[in-house]
Structure 1
Amino acid sequence: MKIAVIGGTGLIGSQVVRNLTAAGHEAVPHSLSTGVDIITGTGVAEAVAGADVVVNLTNSPTFDDASPAFFQTSMDNLLTASAQAGVGHFVILSIVGVDQVPDLVYYRAKVLQEDLLRAGGVPFSIVRATQFMEFMDAALSWTADDKTVRLPRTPIQPIAAADVAAAVSEVAVGAPLNGVRNIAGPDVLPLDDLGRLTLKARGDSRSVVTDDTAGMFAAVKGDVIIAPAGAVIAPTRYIDWLARG
């Protein structure tokens, strides 16, 4: 099976390419560095030509008001080229509970991406993942100073990037879901407690101050971004991932 992995040189994409190649598929990574620009359209038709499956793992470079335009343009270009090339399956990676956080423009932009895919005329699959363990340091940095990190009590169910890549790889070689598969890590913890675990593991002496108005995740109400019923639960626990880091 020939699989075009758009964003195939990034955190998830590079692992998806390795997984698919190891399984005997022809997985071809595409990105700006390989001459494919999903915004201008340069190289897109060539990237998807002859592909049985397109996996789009690209992401907006910002989380702000520019993100909807990124997903609108990129999906228009990729879906048009995929339909013309006769691609039989188009896969994207999204976020668990993404349609339940209307106060975040980036989440609304990801909902737009999903909606464009559903309407795009190509059989599709959406893999929704919870928050990546690898992004925890970034979440800490948003509201940090020299002595403290302010974090809300938002419930988080972190998943390792390797587990995300494994799930995306599995979906890519299967029949189109024409729907959503949710994936999540095994543990649910408040974000402020995750912050404390992380700082301790890093040998960081800063303290975590619980502040339900701090950072991007303050806009998340209740437990909407943890795994819903029927989600696939990945094996890697956060404490084990930290220990390996």
Structure 2
Amino acid sequence: MTQEKYRVVDVAGDKSSDVVWHLASVSHAQREAANGHAPAVLWFTGLSGSGKSTVANAVDKMLHDLGCKTYVLDGDNVRHGLNGDLGFSDTDRVENIRRIGEVSKLFVDAGLLVSTAFISPFVEDRASVRAQLNDSQYSNSQHSNSQFIEVYIDTPIEVCEQRDPKGLYKKARAGEIKNFTGIDSAYEQPINPEVHVKTAEQSIEACALQVVDYLKENGYIKV
């Protein structure tokens, strides 16, 4: 599929006046009560190779062991299906994150703690998803805290390149991959993330515990 065939949806322009939100028989509050914890999106952001997916899955396992209802949306996995028509230009990256934001809202409506592991390089896009979650029709949660929790996986690019688990940095340095975040495409660091994790300085278990402790300390899950 060529870049010219990619289509970024103009959400406002594509909406029909004939489309009306259908109210479910089981409410968001009822699902939250049944699950026994507050729903939220744990939005893991960071460079390729920073450890987003590894930490997100470690957190998911810890939460599952605590009896929480969870799911992980991984960047590569989603691009195998839902976002398989998108490339890696800035425009396609924006659409990639918009779609993930919409999917995340559905998981929140189901009362889950959903982790998303995406580079999501732009501050504006992450802020847009935060606004979608906190201002959506699902925001009638019994919990007063934000339903969007930004988790910054802060790993120096030198360390990410040393890890290079998929060989992508090597290809990007050789010019074989274009629009690679940190090399020839920008990454905008979170301004004030709820959780700031440094994988180069801590074990994966310690990083995951930092996230789970945040959820406990802020009342998302019962201690």
The alignment's TM-score, normalised by the length of structure 2, stands at 0.43
> More strand by proportion, 1 or 2?
1
| Higher RCO (CA 8 Å, separation ≥ 6 residues) | 2
The alignment's TM-score, normalised by the length of structure 1, stands at 0.40
